[in-house]
Chain A
Amino acid sequence: QKEVEQNSGPLSVPEGAIASLNCTYSDRGSQSFFWYRQYSGKSPELIMSIYSNGDKEDGRFTAQLNKASQYVSLLIRDSQPSDSATYLCAVNFEVGTASKLTFGTGTRLQVTL
Chain B
Amino acid sequence: GAGVSQSPRYKVAKRGQDVALRCDPISGHVSLFWYQQALGQGPEFLTYFQNEAQLDKSGLPSDRFFAERPEGSVSTLKIQRTQQEDSAVYLCASSPQTDTQYFGPGTRLTVL
Chain A residues engaging chain B, CB cutoff 8 angstroms: 4, 8, 32, 34, 36, 42-46, 49, 88, 90, 92, 96-106
Contacts and interface: CB of A to CB of B under 8 A. Distances in A.
Label chain B's interface by main secondary structure: loop
Contacts of B104: 43
A6 B50 CA distance: 30
A100 B45 contact: yes
B8 interface: no
Given A43-B106, A46-B100, A98-B50, 5 more contacts: A46-B101, A97-B99, A98-B48, A103-B43, A105-B42
Interface of B: 30-31, 33, 40-45, 48, 50, 56, 59, 91, 95, 97-106
The 10 tightest CB contacts between A and B, nearest first, are: A103-B42, A98-B31, A100-B45, A43-B103, A98-B95, A44-B103, A105-B42, A32-B99, A43-B106, A103-B43
